[in-house]
Every structure is written in C-alpha cells, then in structure tokens.
Structure 1
C-alpha cells in the first residue's frame, strides 16, 4: 500500500475552506501518490476507501459537467458500474447514492456500447437526446450532490486513517 501523508496544517487549511477543499486534499494527495491517475496497474497500491473516494470524485465531476451519458462516454462507466463502488457507498452510509448508482448501472449495461463509441462533438451532443432515460438519474444526482459530498466529507473526517496519515508539525 502507498503511504498517503497529509500535513496537519494543510488539512486544517482545507477544512476551513469547506467540504470540497477537505475532500479535495485527500483526493489530490492520493492521486499524486499514484502518479496522477488511477490505473489497473496502480489500483493495488490503494485501499478500497481510497479508490472509492477517487471514484466519487470522477463521478461527481463528470455528472455535474455532463451527466451520466458524459461519464460513460468518457470511459468511466466500467470503473463506476462494474466495480463494487455502489456497495462501498452503502457501507459509508450513503444508501440513496448507492441506489442511484445501482439504478444508473442498469442504464449503463443497456446502452454503454452505443454511448462509448467514438463520435464527433455533434454526435456526442445528440447522445443526450437519444438517451433521455438518464435524465432522472442526472437530476437526482445534481439535486443531492451537495448533501452527498457533505456526507462523504463527514465519513472521511470520522475515518481519516482509512484515507491518509496526518503528519503533525513537530514530527
């Protein structure tokens, strides 16, 4: 396992900025430790909580920018829907988000081959009209993102040792 170390003063500064910065310092530090991107080769260097956090960041960024269709088109579908991501969210106490990911996984399995095809920007934009079934899961995610992000920040705060070692100033 990679040793993930965050300086206490940096963590305190991030916490003062808010939940996004608090989560971000963990995700950024984890990403940096594995070379900037989670791959099949470096996944074994992280624990399941660290991987789940990175998956949530990818999910949030993609869905908030362009919905689940964009997430799938950009190649994150298998990572989010085939891995035990939804199950981990449930263990974190995020039952509603877990259910949403599970619901979206049915749509992924049904449509991913068409959504993942290479296409022009114009063809990509047309995907949103071709797959309106994603509208409800997109809307639910956007409506609840702030609450879910807050709950994830709380989970990290209550389980810091699962995500990183906090280095005190005098160490």
Structure 2
C-alpha cells in the first residue's frame, strides 16, 4: 500500500473553505502518491476507500461537465459501472446516489459500446440527443450534487485514516 500523506494545516485550511476544497486535498494527495493518474498497476496500491474517492471525483467532474454520456465516451464507464463503486457508496450512506448509479448501469450496459466508439465532435454532440435516456439521471445528479458531495466529505472526515496519514 502506498502511504498517502497530507499536512494537518492543509486539511484545516481546506475545511474552513468548503467541502470541495476539503475533498480536493485528499484527491490531490492520492493522485500525487500514484504519479498523477490512476491505472491498473497503481490501483492495487490503494485502498478501496481511496479508489472510491477517486472514482467519485471522476464521476463528479465528468457528469457536472457533460453528463453520463460524456463520462462513458471518455472511457470511465467500466471503472464506474463494472466495479463495486455504487455498493461502496451505499455503504458510505449515499443510498440514493448508489440507487441511481445502479439504474444508469443498465443504460451503460445497453448503450456503452455505441457511446464509446471513436467519432467526430459533431457525432459526439449528437449523442446527447441520441441517448436522451441519460438526461433525467444527469439532472438528478446535478440537483443532488451538493448533498452527495457533502455526504462523501462527511464520510471522509469521519474516516480520515482510510484515506491518508495526517502529518503536522
């Protein structure tokens, strides 16, 4: 296991800002510890909690930017939907998010190969209309993003030792 370290002062400063800044300290520290990018090799050196936090960060960034179609097109569908990510989030107390992800997984299984194909920018933009079944889930994520991010931040705060070693 890689030991991920953060400074206590950085955590305190981020916690005074907001939950996004607080989570960013953890995400950035984990990314730095693995060389900047999650892959099959370094994933084995992380805990389930660390991987889940990185997965939430990816989910959050992709869906807030371009929805589930973008997340799948950018190659994250397998990472989010073919792993126990939703189950871990449920264990963290984010039952509604987990339930939604299980629903989106069904669409991913049905449409994933069509969305992940190489295409032009124009064809990519057309996918948002072509796969409008994702729209309600995109909206649900955006509507609940603050509460869900708060839930993740609360879990991380209550279980810091699962994510990092805090140094003075």
In which range does the TM-score fall when normalised by the shorter chain? over 0.9
Aligned pairs for 1:136-155 (under 5 A) are: 136-155=136-155
Residue 162 of structure 1 is matched in structure 2 by: 162
For structure 2, the 5+ residue unaligned runs are none
Residue 103 of structure 1 is matched in structure 2 by: 103
Aligned pair count reads 168
Residue 31 of structure 2 is matched in structure 1 by: 31
CA distance in 1 between partners of 2:81 and 2:158 (Å):
26
Task: Report the 3-state secondary structure (helix = DSSP H, G, I; strand = E; otherwise coil) of the residue aligned with 2:132.
Answer: coil
Residue 21 of structure 2 is matched in structure 1 by: 21
Instruction: Compute the displacement of 1:17 (Å).
Output: 1.1
Aligned pairs for 1:63-74 (under 5 A) are: 63-74=63-74
For structure 1, the 5+ residue unaligned runs are none
Deviations 1:9-29 (A, max 9, x none): 011111111100000000000
Task: Report the 3-state secondary structure (helix = DSSP H, G, I; strand = E; otherwise coil) of the residue aligned with 2:2.
Answer: coil
Residue 112 of structure 1 is matched in structure 2 by: 112
Instruction: Compute the displacement of 1:105 (Å).
Output: 0.3
Q: Which stretches of structure 1, 4 residues or more, deviate above 6 A after TM superposition?
A: none
CA distance in 1 between partners of 2:38 and 2:104 (Å):
22
CA distance in 2 between partners of 1:33 and 1:5 (Å):
8
Deviations 1:117-139 (A, max 9, x none): 00110000000000110011111
Instruction: Compute the displacement of 1:45 (Å).
Output: 0.6
Residue 8 of structure 1 is matched in structure 2 by: 8
